Amino acid sequence: MKFSIEETNALIRNRRSIYPTSYSDVPVDENIIRDMLANANWAPTHKLTEPWRFVVFQKEGLKKLAKFQSELYKELSTKAGNFDESKFEKLAIKPLMASHIIAIGMKRNEKELVPEIEEISAVACAVQNMYLTATAYGVGCYWGSGGVTYKTEANAFFGLGPNDKLLGFMYIGNLKSDKWPVGKRTPFEDKVTWVS
């Protein structure tokens, strides 16, 4: 099996996090979302536990997500005495800027005692597969971990149990312009030690 190394390198090196302020009102084709999810399913996974779990929000579902996360934030922050009205409003509005949002979960497999970090890493690989697929289609997306991420009180809403983890949200949208963002990285040599 052989793939074009030039195209592969270009795809990987042009993957970007693109935020909802750059999204248009044109919805992303559902077949693209399905390809993203299908490719996520081929991430590496120790003992084949396949720990990734996704909930896709679209159309009216985006409003349900916005209401849930803003209300949960209000409830938890009011109890803690640190409620911020602007944060509440942001949580209620931001989801409506995307075509789709995919909640990213990690489901613990109680039969296979795989270390949690390996399960989280497998989910991260699945998310990278979604990123690369979106990039190949010219669709913007980003993985955010704000809002109710890491709040165990949110787990049930996303079909997760008490030992599972909500790892954030992938916001997805078509771009307002055809200008793809330019990225920057320091040289890989600065982060690599060779041992011969």
Q: What is the pLDDT at residue 62?
A: 98
Q: What is the pLDDT at residue 112?
A: 75
pTM: 0.95
**Phi then psi dihedrals of residue 156, to 5 deg:** -60, -40
DSSP letter for each residue of 95-121: GGGSSEEEEEEE---SSS---HHHHHH
Q: What is the pLDDT at residue 2?
A: 87
Q: Which residues of the chain have pLDDT under 50?
A: none
* Residue-range domains of the chain with CATH: 14-177 (3.40.109.10)
End-to-end CA distance of the chain: 30
Q: What is the pLDDT at residue 110?
A: 82
57-96: per-residue pLDDT in tens?
A: 999 999 999 999 999 999 999 999 999 999 999 999 999 9
Q: Return the half-sphere exposure (C-beta side, CA atoms, 13 A cut-off) of residue 102.
A: 26
Q: What is the pLDDT at residue 104?
A: 98
Q: Strand, coil or helix: what is 55?
A: strand
